[in-house]
Amino acid sequence: MANILHIDSSPRGERSISRSLSHAFVTSWKNAHPGDTVTYRDLGHHPVPHVDEGWIAAAFSPPETHTPELTQAIQLSDSLIDELLAADRYVFGVPMYNLNIPSTFKAYIDQIVRIGRTFAVDANGYKGLIDSNKKVLIITSRGGTFPPGTPFAAYDHQEPYLRTILGFIGLTDVSFIHADSLNLGDDARQKSLENAQAAIAQVVDSW
């Protein structure tokens, strides 16, 4: 049995493409693997706070030196990291906003990327502390399309960033399903959604 951490980051409800597709995947996965458990976090509707001065002071000082205020400042980060580490696999629904990720998901990343908890620094440089065998599936929604090898690829600051920051903490087995071309006409939109749904079915069978 595996524990899946499922996170959505769109502020939309039923109109969210990334949300509907991530839920479609998790539903199909649960049908195929009924013994697995799912931990769900909705960052779009219940965002986590941005890092502040108290968080920084707590994150970069030994826990035994923390005042009650610093303990409180880092408590949510500790809980989010514990939740992340407890999961065996990850499913993230992430829309593209202004060529990158929503601030809701960035705030979450800033809470979980923490020295001594999810990465370390030694004589050889940076080292991710999360098991690299854990798999990540990221389902995105995009108004445009950014195919590799085309001039438009340079505008994609979503997938490269997510691959880099997740790899930084050890999660290097990362797959993407892009529902793109959503603002490029009805035909392109429908074809993209059909392709995303087919990709979901394929990943359920092989992931």
CB neighbour list of residue 127: distance below 8 Å, 6 or more residues apart: 119, 120, 121, 170
* 58-101 residue pLDDT tens: 999 999 999 999 999 999 999 999 999 999 999 999 999 999 99
Q: How far apart are CA 159 and CA 110, in angstroms?
A: 17
- State which H helix or E strand residue 119 sits in: strand 119-122
Domain that holds residue 121: 3-206
**Total domain count, the chain:** 1
Question: Are 57 and 77 in contact, with CB atoms under 8 Å apart?
Answer: no
CATH code for the domain in which residue 199 is found = 3.40.50.360
Alpha carbon dihedral 199, 109, 13, 173, in 10-degree steps, equals 10
Supply angle C-alpha 82, 84, 85, rounded to 5: 65
pTM over 0.85: yes
Residue 11: how many other CB atoms lie within 10 Å: 17
* 152-195 residue pLDDT tens: 999 999 999 999 999 999 999 999 999 999 999 999 999 999 99
